[in-house]
Amino acid sequence: MIIIQIQIISRMFFPIILGISVNSHLFAQDQFLIKNNVNSNQQRPTDPMKKTDSEWKRVLSQEEYHILRSKGTERAFTGEFDGHFEEGMYICAGCGNKLFESETKYKSGCGWPAFYDALPESVEETEDNNYGMKRIEITCSKCDGHLGHVFNDGPDPTGFRYCINSVSMDFKPDEKK
Give catalytic residues, as residue numbers: 163
- Dist CA 68 CA 65 (whole Å): 5
Q: State the Rg of the chain over Cα.
A: 27
Say whether 124 sits in a helix, a strand or coil. strand
User: Closer to Fe ion at the Cβ: 79 or 145?
Assistant: 145
Region from 59-67, 104-112, 119-127, 133-141 binding Fe ion, contact rule CB under 5 A: 133-141
Could you say whether residue 140 binds Fe ion (CB under 5 A)? yes
Among 79, 94, 113, 154, binds Fe ion (CB under 5 A): 94
Could you say whether residue 148 binds Fe ion (CB under 5 A)? no
Could you say whether residue 145 binds Fe ion (CB under 5 A)? yes
Size of the site for Fe ion (CB under 5 A): 8
Cis preceding-peptide flag for 157 (omega within 30 of 0): yes
Could you say whether residue 92 binds Fe ion (CB under 5 A)? yes
- Dist CA 148 CA 76 (whole Å): 12
Region from 6-14, 56-64, 121-129, 138-146 binding Fe ion, contact rule CB under 5 A: 138-146
Using CB under 5 A as the criterion, which residues of the chain lie in contact with Fe ion when the complex forms?
A: 92, 94-95, 97, 140, 142-143, 145
